[in-house]
Structure 1
Amino acid sequence: MSSEATGPTPQQDRPIVFRNGKVLTMDDQHSVLNNADVLVVGEKIEAVGPGLDVPEGTQEIDADGGIIMPGMVDTHRHMWQTAMRGYGADWTLTQYFVWYYLQHGMHFRPQDMHAGNMLSALDALESGVTTTVDWSHGLQTVDHAEASLDALEESPGRFVFAYGNIHAGPWEWASDPDVQNFISRRNKGSDMLGFQMAFDVTGDPEFPERKAFEVARELNLPVTTHAGVWGATNDDGIRLMHENGFMTPETVYVHAATLSDDSYQRIAATGGSVSISTESEQSCGQGYPPSWVLRSHQIPVSLSVDTSVWFSSDLFTAMRSTLGADRSRIHLEAHAKGDTITHSHLRAEHVVDWATRGGAKALGLDDAVGSLEAGKKADVVLLKNDNSPTMFPILNPYGHVALQAGRADVHTVLVNGKVAKYDHKLVGADLAQAKKAIGETIDHLQTTMGADVWEQEMNPEIPQTDVLDNPYTYTQYKSDATHSH
C-alpha cells in the first residue's frame, strides 16, 4: 500500500489520471478493474484501464490502495433544511409536518434558503455525492426560488432543481406566470442543472393536482412526488395519476412505502422509479423501507438522504441502512414461516448501483454520469485513506463501499472534470462564509420563534387538528385512511 503523500491540488485546466486503483466502473457489466487507471481530459473521461498512456502534462493522483468509483447520485434531498441540521433528531413524521407545514416553515426568508442550500451542496460534495436533486418544497415566493437556485449555481456540484411549495396547492403555484417564467428563464437545458416539479397527490377524487401535471407537461419537466407515505399519500393518488395518464418513465416516486400491489404494478407498468430514503422510512413511519417489494416488481431504485434536519447526509449511510432493512425484512418473513435465509438476495453490489447508476437513470442522466466509461462526464470519486485502519484490506470492493467506507475516506471528488475535493478537503469552498450565513439563519429563526419555543419545538406538541388525515394546509380534503372507525 502506498503512503498517502499527496501533492498540490491538481490544476483545473490540465488532464488528470488516477493511477493504480481498484475501479468500480458500474458499467452494464459491472466491470471491476484491479490496478487500473482513469484518465480525465476536460469535462470527460477519456479512458479507463490498466497502464494508460496519457497526454504530456497530465497530473497524476495515486489511487493505489483505494477505490475509484462514479460520483454518487442523490435523488431526493430537502437541501434548504440543512440549515437546521440535527434539530429534529427525535421528531416523528407528524412533528415534521407540524413544524414545517403548519407552524414555522414559513419563517424562512430567501437568504435562509440560500444558506441552507449552500451548506447542503458542500455537504453532498464532501461525501462524494456529485449529483443532487434539490427537492425544494419551501419556495413560498419566486424570490425564495431565485435564492435557492443561486446557491446551487455557486457550487461546483451537479444538481436537479425540483420546484415545490408546501404552503400552496400545486395547482395554484404551478399556474403562477411568475413561477413558469422563472423555470423557463433559468432552465438552460444543461446537464449541470436540470429541473423537475415537486408536489404530492392527496387522493382527492376531484384531482386538483391535474393542473400541476399539465404545467409540468407543457414545460417538459418530470414530476417527483412523495408517494406511499402513511398518513399523507396513498393508493388513491397513484390511481388518479394513472387513470389520467400522468405516470411516465420519468416520474420519480419518493418513499413508495405503503402502497398496494396494484399501485406497484402501475409504477412498474409505466416505467417509473422509486427513490428510497431508508433512514427516513425507518425513523418517521412512512412505511417499511420498500426495497424488498420493489425488487419483486422489478421497479428501478435510487437512493436519497431526505433531510439532514433528522438524518445522515451521505449515501454511504443510505446504502448500509438499505441493505440492513431489506435483509431484516426477508429474515423476519422467513422466520415467521419457520424458514431461514441461506443467501442474501439484495447484495452490496446492488445498493452501490442504486447509489450511482440507478440515480443517473432515474434522472435521465445515464448518458452523462453514473458510470466510469470513456465519453461520459468526469464525475469521479476516489476512496482512499491510508491513515485509517478501515480502508484496508479491500477484499470485496462493493462490500467495502456499502458497509465499511464513509465520508472521511473520500479523498478526491471530480465533478464535470473539475476538482471539488482533494486530499480529504473541499477545494475552493468558503466554509467560513457558509458558517456565517447559517448562523444568521439560526439567529433569525430563534428570534422569530423565541428562545423558549425554539427549545420546545425540538419535540413539538401535536396541535388539535386533523393533521394525520391531511398534513397539507393548502387543501380541505381529508381521508379516514389513517384512522379506523
Structure 2
Amino acid sequence: MKTLITGGTVITMDPALGDLTRGDVLIEDGRITEVAPHIDAPDAEVIDASERIVMPGFVDNHRHAWQTAFRGAGSDWTFPQWSQAMHHTVKPHYTPEDVYIGTLMGRLEALHSGVTTMLDWYHVAQTHAHEDAAVAALTDAPGRSVFCLGAGWGTDAPVEDDIRRVRDILTGGGRIDLALGMRGPSHTGIDTAAREIKLADELGLRISLHVEAPGTITELAEHNLLRHTLTGVHANGIGLDELRMLADAGASLSISPDVELKMGFGAPMTGLALDAGLRPTLSIDDVPSAGGDMFSTLRTTFAAQRGIDGRLRSRDLLGFATVNAAASMGLAHRTGSLTPGKDADIIILRTDDLTIFPVTAPAGSIVSQGHPGLVHTVLAAGRVVKHDGVLVGVDLPALRERLMASRDRIAAAADVALDGTWEPMPTA
C-alpha cells in the first residue's frame, strides 16, 4: 500500500534532508520511502497537505497516563500535595478497569495532540491485573507506546518477577515496547538499584529514573551503574558535574517544565543540560497538574530558558520533542524524523487557522503559536489515525462516559471533592 502526502511545507528534522517549502512524502507499507520537492506516484492514495505543515510526530518519553481521570484537579497543588492525592488518596481505590480507561484516554489524548510515540510511566502498581489493564489500553490505542513498569511510589517491593512476566506478554514485537521504571538508590538503596539495572541490562530494556535530589547520579556513577540506556527525569537542582556524568555515560535527560515550575521543583534544567553536553528531551508528566499536549511543553521550555540566557532557537525545541526523545527511548532508527526507512509517524498541521496564520517561520510558529487544534491529520506507522481533526474509529462518547464513571467512583470511595476545593494535606 502506498500513500503520498503532497504539497505541504515539510519539516523533516533530518539534517541531510532539511526543510522543503513545498514537498512530498511517499509512504509504502507503513514506512517512509522518499521525501522530495515532487514525487510521481500515480498508484498511491493521496493526502493533500497544501496549506499544511508536515512534520514528525512528537515523542513524549515520560507520562503517567493512569491519572487521566483527575485531569486539572491538581492545577494548584505542590508536589507534596500531588503525591498525597494521587499515591495515597486515590490510587488505593483504582481497579484494573480504572487503570485501563485512564491509560487509554491518556494515550488517545496524546495521539489527538500529535504525540505518535509515548512512554507510559506506570506507578499504580497493585496487582498483575492492573498491569495487564495498562498494557491492554496501550495495545488498544493506535501509535507506538513504551510501557515503563515501576513498582510504585514509595515502595521497595521487588520488580523482577513483574518485569519478566510483562516482557513475556509483549514478546513478539509490535507497537508496544517495555522499559523499566527505576526507583533509584534514594528509595531502595544501592543494592536494589544495582539489581534493577542488571535486570534491565539482561533483558535489553531502557531505564527511566526520577532524579529527585543531588547525589543520586554520583552514587550510581560510583558503583558503575550509569548506562546509555538510562533517562533521568526532572533532575532539578543537581549540579553540572552530575549532568556531565549522565552525558559521559551517553544517558538522557527528560524535562517536564510545566510540572517542574508549578510544583516547586525549580527551574527546568534545559540550559545546564546543554552546558553538560546533553541534548534535552521533553515530556508531559501528569495531567492533573499540567496540559497534556507537547505544544504547551515546547512553549514553556522555550520561554523559561530564553528568559535566563536567550540561547535557544525554535528548531532546538522541535529536536527535543522529536529526534532527541526518540533516541532516548532507543527508537531513533524507527521514528523522530521524516527519514526514508523510518516508520511513517507523521503529523499534518493546519496553517490556515487564525491562531497561526500567516505562517512566516514554520518552526517558530509551531513552538510559539502551536496548539492541538492545529493537528489536522496523524499517521502512526503509515496508518491514518486522525483525519480532519477527528480520531478515526474511536467511540469517544462511550469512552468519555467510562472515564467519568471511573473518576466519580474513585472520588466517592476516597471521599474527595470534585468541585475545585480538594486541597490534599501532605502527611508529615
**TM-score computed with the length of structure 1 as normaliser:** 0.84
CA contact (8 A) 1:174 1:215 kept: no
Check if 1:263 corresponds to 2:263. Answer: no
Task: Please identify, of 305-314 and 208-217, the stretch whose mean Cα deviation from structure 2 is larger.
Answer: 208-217
Gaps of 5+ in 2: none
Residue type of the partner of 1:322? Answer: T
Partner of residue 254 from structure 1, selected from 225, 233, 236: 233
Q: CA deviation at 1:455?
A: 5.4
Partner of residue 66 from structure 1, selected from 52, 76, 79: 52
Check if 1:173 corresponds to 2:158. Answer: yes
Other-structure match for 1:223: 207
**Cα distance change of structure 1 residues 266 and 70 upon mapping to structure 2, 3 Å threshold:** same
1:198 partner SS: strand
Q: CA deviation at 1:191?
A: 5.9
Q: For 1:259 and 1:358, how far apart are their aligned partners in 2? A: 21
2:73 partner SS: coil
1:254 partner SS: strand
**Cα distance change of structure 1 residues 316 and 189 upon mapping to structure 2, 3 Å threshold:** farther
Q: For 2:384 and 2:189, how far apart are their aligned partners in 1? A: 50
Check if 1:462 corresponds to 2:426. Answer: yes
TM alignment of 1:279-298, pairs within 5 A: 279-298=258-277
Aligned CA RMSD, in angstroms, stands at 1.8
Other-structure match for 1:230: none
Partner of residue 20 from structure 2, selected from 26, 33, 46: 33
CA contact (8 A) 2:217 2:242 kept: yes
TM alignment of 1:373-384, pairs within 5 A: 373-384=339-350
Partner of residue 81 from structure 1, selected from 47, 62, 67: 67
Q: Number of paired residues?
A: 427
Q: CA deviation at 1:200?
A: 2.4
Other-structure match for 2:6: 19
CA contact (8 A) 1:234 1:259 kept: yes
1:98 partner SS: helix
Other-structure match for 1:159: 145
Q: CA deviation at 1:289?
A: 0.4
Q: CA deviation at 1:189?
A: 5.7
Indicate the structure (1 or 2) with the bigger Cα radius of gyration: 1
CA contact (8 A) 1:412 1:421 kept: yes
State the 4+ residue runs in structure 1 displaced beyond 6 angstroms. none
CA contact (8 A) 2:146 2:178 kept: yes
Partner of residue 312 from structure 1, selected from 284, 288, 291: 291
CA contact (8 A) 1:99 1:457 kept: no
Other-structure match for 1:478: none
TM alignment of 1:306-455, pairs within 5 A: 306-330=285-309, 344-386=310-352, 388-450=353-415
Residue type of the partner of 2:66? Answer: W
Partner of residue 118 from structure 1, selected from 104, 110, 134: 104
Other-structure match for 1:214: 198
2:130 partner SS: helix
Residue type of the partner of 2:179? Answer: Q
Deviations 1:71-129 (A, max 9, x none): 11001010111111111111000101111233332211111110111101110111110
Residue type of the partner of 1:389? Answer: L
Check if 1:235 corresponds to 2:225. Answer: no
Q: Percent identity?
A: 31
2:308 partner SS: helix
Partner of residue 148 from structure 1, selected from 125, 134, 137: 134
Other-structure match for 1:337: none
Q: For 2:224 and 2:141, how far apart are their aligned partners in 1? A: 37
Q: CA deviation at 1:203?
A: 2.8
**Cα distance change of structure 1 residues 191 and 238 upon mapping to structure 2, 3 Å threshold:** farther
Other-structure match for 1:300: 279
Q: CA deviation at 1:39?
A: 1.2
**Cα distance change of structure 1 residues 373 and 435 upon mapping to structure 2, 3 Å threshold:** same
Other-structure match for 1:52: 39
TM alignment of 1:98-109, pairs within 5 A: 98-109=84-95
Deviations 1:357-387 (A, max 9, x none): 111111111111111111111001100153x
**Cα distance change of structure 1 residues 35 and 269 upon mapping to structure 2, 3 Å threshold:** same
Q: For 1:451 and 1:184, how far apart are their aligned partners in 2? A: 36
**TM-score computed with the length of structure 2 as normaliser:** 0.95
**Cα distance change of structure 1 residues 110 and 64 upon mapping to structure 2, 3 Å threshold:** same
CA contact (8 A) 2:314 2:363 kept: yes
TM alignment of 1:175-194, pairs within 5 A: 175=160, 177=161, 179-188=162-171, 190=173, 192-194=175-177
